[in-house]
């Protein structure tokens, strides 16, 4: 198995939210460029929302396509109500498979949380592709040892959200040369998310 390395920097102040968002976005990127999904995560999500709706994907109704554009109308009795959405055709077998894949990928991404980083202080996060986690065909590892000993406090304001989003885009850009030097991807493989944390953190979390 070939080894490819690159150094990726994130801007200060480093928050757990910034690191988690960057890791999630890179994992989505890797699934696409390593040909484990036919399109980008965002394109897949948009097409499935339009085809099967948010509920089928396990997403809140606010994610629904056109949810913000529904307008309340005046009823005969004076009550105001939003028009009921049109019934969707039954999902095809291909759409059901896509929904299953999306939900599994979303569950994998959901394992990465700011709380996990703050509690366990993992030193490494890795994405394995292969038939087994014991014998993966591809490993994409992210070393976190050089991150600050304690994360900065995250602020939920628009400017902070832009910083987090820009950091993720920068991480992806810096990963592109390394990923591009990898050999062609194999066919569809199972993905495994691995987290390495100090033993003292694991015992303390229990």
The pLDDT value recorded for residue 71 is 44
Tell me the mean pLDDT in the region 133-156.
Answer: 87
The pLDDT value recorded for residue 74 is 52
Of 1-15, 123-137, 167-181, the range with the lowest mean pLDDT is: 1-15
The pLDDT value recorded for residue 82 is 55
pLDDT-derived band of residue 78, with 50, 70 and 90 as boundaries? low
Alpha-helical runs (H) found in the chain: 16-33, 41-52, 54-57, 93-110, 114-120, 158-180, 199-205
pTM of the model: 0.83
Tell me the mean pLDDT in the region 67-77.
Answer: 49
Burial of 102 (0-12, 13-18, 19+ CB in 10 A): buried
Question: Residue 168 has which token pair?
Answer: 């993720």
Residue identified by tokens 């229990």 is: 206
Is residue 55 scored above 70 in pLDDT? yes
Cα distance between residue 144 and residue 124, in whole Å: 5
Pairing of strands 138-143, 124-130: antiparallel
């Amino acid at each position: 198995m070939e080894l490819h390395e690159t150094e990726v920097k994130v801007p200060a102040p480093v928050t757990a939210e910034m690191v988690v968002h960057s890791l999630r976005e890179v994992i989505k990127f890797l699934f696409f460029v390593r040909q484990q999904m036919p399109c980008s995560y965002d394109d897949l999500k948009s097409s499935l929302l339009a085809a099967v709706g948010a509920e089928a994907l396990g997403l809140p109704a606010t994610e629904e396509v056109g949810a913000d554009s529904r307008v309340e109308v005046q009823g005969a009795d004076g009550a105001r109500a939003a028009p009921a959405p049109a019934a969707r055709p039954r999902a095809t077998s291909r759409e059901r498979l896509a929904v299953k894949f999306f939900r599994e990928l979303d569950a994998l991404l959901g394992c990465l949380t700011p709380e996990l980083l703050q509690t366990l202080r993992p030193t490494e996060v890795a994405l394995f592709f292969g038939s087994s986690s014991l014998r993966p065909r591809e490993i994409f590892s992210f070393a976190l040892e050089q991150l600050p000993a304690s994360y900065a406090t995250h602020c939920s304001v628009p400017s902070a959200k832009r910083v987090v989003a820009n950091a993720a885009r920068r991480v992806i850009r810096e990963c592109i040369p390394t990923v591009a030097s990898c050999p062609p991807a194999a066919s569809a493989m199972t993905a495994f998310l691995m987290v390495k944390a100090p033993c003292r953190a694991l015992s303390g979390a229990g």
